[in-house]
Amino acid sequence: MHNNLANRRDDLFDVLNNWFSNWNEQMPNESMKTDVSESNKAYTVAIDLPDLNKKDISLSYDHDILTVSATREYLSEASDNDDNLIMNERSYGRLNRQYSLPGVDQKAITARYQNGVLKVILPKSHELPDKETKIDIQ
């Protein structure tokens, strides 16, 4: 009986050791990696948002601030040969990031989501800004 208890303890330590050693693989990347460029005519913002659907992303521009929000559901499953679930990782959350981009023609902003990258083009303007603008994603 003592040997059985020792085996169960060793199994638990193996599970915990594997979990901690694979920490980076198990945790989804919750950041919005971004490139922002500026020309005389426009700002261009490219944001990595892999594994999302376009419907899960929203954009708005208000008082010189571009706001990008996304809802993420991360799911990874693996089964053994008998189709018993041996690992199940789920992560849900909301990502939100803001960018200060002044002097934008709010009515001319365009956005496209393709291959996990959201690209937003914000043409510059010298007119006074309107109220908040929701941006459709192509």
Phi and psi for 12 in degrees, rounded to 5?
-60, -45
pLDDT at residue 22 above 50? Answer: no
pLDDT of residue 18: 56
Q: pLDDT by residue (tens digit) across 117-131?
A: 999 999 998 766 556
* Helices and strands (H and E) in the chain: how many: 2, 8
Report the DSSP beta bridge partners of residue 19: none
User: Which domains occur in the chain, in start order?
Assistant: 33-135 (2.60.40.790)
pLDDT at 13 over 70: no
Strand, helix or coil at 2?
helix
Distance separating alpha carbons of residues 126 and 96, to the nearest angstrom = 28
pLDDT at residue 44 is higher than 90: yes
- Distant-in-sequence, close-in-space partners of 23: CB < 8 Å, separation ≥ 6: none
What global pTM score does this model have? Answer: 0.63
Predicted local confidence at residue 93, as pLDDT: 76
